[in-house]
Amino acid sequence: MASETVTSTGYIKHHLQNMTFGKHPDGHWGLAHSVNEAKEMGFWAIHVDTMFWSILLGVLFLWLFRKAAKQATSGQPSGVLNFAEWIVEFIDSSVRGSFTSKNNLVAPLALTVFVWVFLMNFMDLVPVDWLPSLAGWVGASMFGADPHHVYFRVVSTTDPNATIGMSLAVFGLMLFYSIKIKGIGGFTAELTMHPFHSHNKLVQLIFIPINFFLEFVSLIAKPISLALRLFGNMYAGEMIFILIALMFSASMTMQALGGVLQLGWAIFHILIITLQAFIFMTLTIVYMDMAHSEH
């Protein structure tokens, strides 16, 4: 999108708005053409761009690793197979170091989380105007839409709906295995008998609501922190790229400075997108280990 045709504030808002599909106040279903329309659609609206890119990158992950698995031989690996084996060995060592129980689901889960989150984060390195401009051109040429009303965000992890959804999936698995391994009684005891404990039954009864409050807050904080940590870091990175892009609509000096800053931030951002994928994966392993640990 040509940033000079809109104000800086409008440019930023446009790049931070998702393509939203939902029910309009008059009852018909369709895409939102403004921020206000997206808000009016309410809770059940769908962010089409987030769904599109997250599913597409998930399918890409499955295709790449399936291709590598079909090429697996006893000889010297090369190309995609070599890369896939390196990733699998890295994940395997991480699981062995953090997961003390035995569950054949944990390693594939960790692999999926790491690669999927990394791919979604990696989209932040695509110049911020390329894909939104392409979406605007497609909307204008094929559907007669105003390009400024075609919203298209490409980094799914900058959408809290995506990060919260992933964290809730991990949280659900954590609860499932906590109850499966420890039973309802054991899981309930973890929430009510720690951290304060007394051999006096009357005192212990007094401790139960206090323990439950502390443990429940700690339990709920896990998916919230898991989701918001990833969202916050990626959202901040996306915002910096957008602010740098604004410099290209200014003087030649600012454009040159913007080019240097964009390259520098992109190189540094490679570390951030990898680190955030690693942290999300590591915490997933740790939470699963906690679910399998009996106190």
Catalytic residue among 3, 54, 178, 233, which? 233
Element of type H or E holding 31 = strand 29-31
Catalytic residue among 218, 229, 249, 251, which? 229
Report yes or no: 38 and 45 within 8 Å, Cβ to Cβ.
yes
Report yes or no: 91 and 111 within 8 Å, Cβ to Cβ.
yes
Please say if 101 is a catalytic residue: no
Please say if 229 is a catalytic residue: yes
CA–CA separation, 15 vs 10, rounded Å?
A: 9
Element of type H or E holding 258 = helix 252-292
Catalytic residue among 8, 218, 225, 293, which? 225
Q: Which of 95, 83, 127, 58 is CA-nearest to residue 278?
A: 95
Please say if 251 is a catalytic residue: no
The burial of 284, by beta-carbon neighbours within 10 Å (0-12 exposed, 13-18 middle, 19 or more buried), is given as: buried
Q: Which of 71, 54, 27, 83 is CA-nearest to residue 234?
A: 54
Report yes or no: 258 and 247 within 8 Å, Cβ to Cβ.
yes
Structure tokens at 264: 């520098």
CA distance from start to end of the chain = 57
Show which residues are catalytic.
225, 229, 233
